[in-house]
Amino acid sequence: MHSSLPDFEMPSEEQVHLAAESFRLLSDPTRIKVLWALLQGESSVACLAELADASPTAVSQHLAKLRLAGLVKGRREGTFVYYSAADEHVRRLLTQGLFHADHIDRGEASPSAAAPTGTGGARPVPGAS
């Protein structure tokens, strides 16, 4: 234990690995667009492809990876699968990522402590209060 950090605890290797995998999956612009659309509500591959300006095949592949990582879930209705964000954690991860991007884009020295649920007012965040 480091003497200047008496209460410091490192996350477990499993936690670090799972977090790194989630961040890796969120590093793709198409996946961010797809997740952003899913924060608006449940959607099909075809609709998500149109919203993300990507092919249905590409979106389907992205969704498969996101589903395996627990970031999205699917609901089958007949021959269609409707996707949604897995839970509130996904909303917070994406919201914080976009807030950070907005903060960098505006060239601010430090983020506002009062803006943990939004993107600094520059863009609306679905479901943020």
SS3 annotation, the chain:
CCCCCCCCCCCCHHHHHHHHHHHHHCCCHHHHHHHHHHHHCCEEHHHHHHHHCCCHHHHHHHHHHHHHCCCEEEEEECCEEEEEECCHHHHHHHHHHHHHHHHHHCCCCCCCCCCCCCCCCCCCCCCCC
- Residue 3 clears pLDDT 80, i.e. is over it: no
Q: Summarize the confidence of residues 20-34 as an average pLDDT.
A: 95
* 95 burial via Cβ count (<10 Å: 0-12, 13-18, 19+): buried
Domains identified in the chain and CATH numbers: 16-86 (1.10.10.10), 87-123 (no CATH)
Q: Which residue(s) pair with 74 in the sheet?
A: 83
CA distance 42 to 40: 7
Instruction: Answer whether 0.85 is exceeded by the pTM.
Output: no
Q: Tens digit of pLDDT for each residue in 67-126?
A: 999 999 999 999 999 999 999 999 999 999 999 999 888 887 665 544 555 434 445 555
